[in-house]
Amino acid sequence: MNRGKTLKNVEIGLLANIYFDGKVQSRTVYDEKGTRKTVGVFLPGEYTFGTDQPEVMHITNGTAEILLPGETKWRTVTAGEDFDVPGNSSYQFKCATPCEYLCDYL
């Protein structure tokens, strides 16, 4: 069992958030302050996600390419890196291998 990256003192939702016919899945967690986060995985593919509120996406495993609002060039992000997504916008995400993430909602 890999215990290298953990969230402590959280509550977790038992129902999955499932998108794109199951190719993107996550679970909602709440930290001790009640802050909502999601922890999930993107299977290989290309996706467009809309946001209601600002987000910080932390890539925890794998590599992806992203195209953020107002940008014209795809950017590579790898495990240990993160990127900000403005609220009320959308961004594009693509990966060739599974890519895991933690999303903080601001």
State how far the Cα of 74 lies from the Cα of 99, in Å rounded to an integer: 16
**Residue-wise pLDDT tens digits, 38-97:** 999 999 999 999 999 999 999 999 999 999 999 999 999 999 999 999 999 999 999 999
**Residue-wise pLDDT tens digits, 18-33:** 999 999 999 999 999 9
Rounded to the nearest 10°, the torsion over CA 68, 70, 73, 75 is: -30
Q: Domain 11-105: what homologous superfamily?
A: Jelly Rolls (2.60.120.10)
pLDDT greater than 60 at residue 3: no
Domain assignments of the chain as residue spans, ordered by start = 11-105
SS3 of residue 92 by DSSP: strand
Q: Return the number of other C-beta atoms located less than 10 Å from residue 103's C-beta.
A: 19
Given a contact cutoff of 8 angstroms between Cβ atoms, the answer to whether 79 and 63 are in contact is: yes
pTM of the model: 0.91
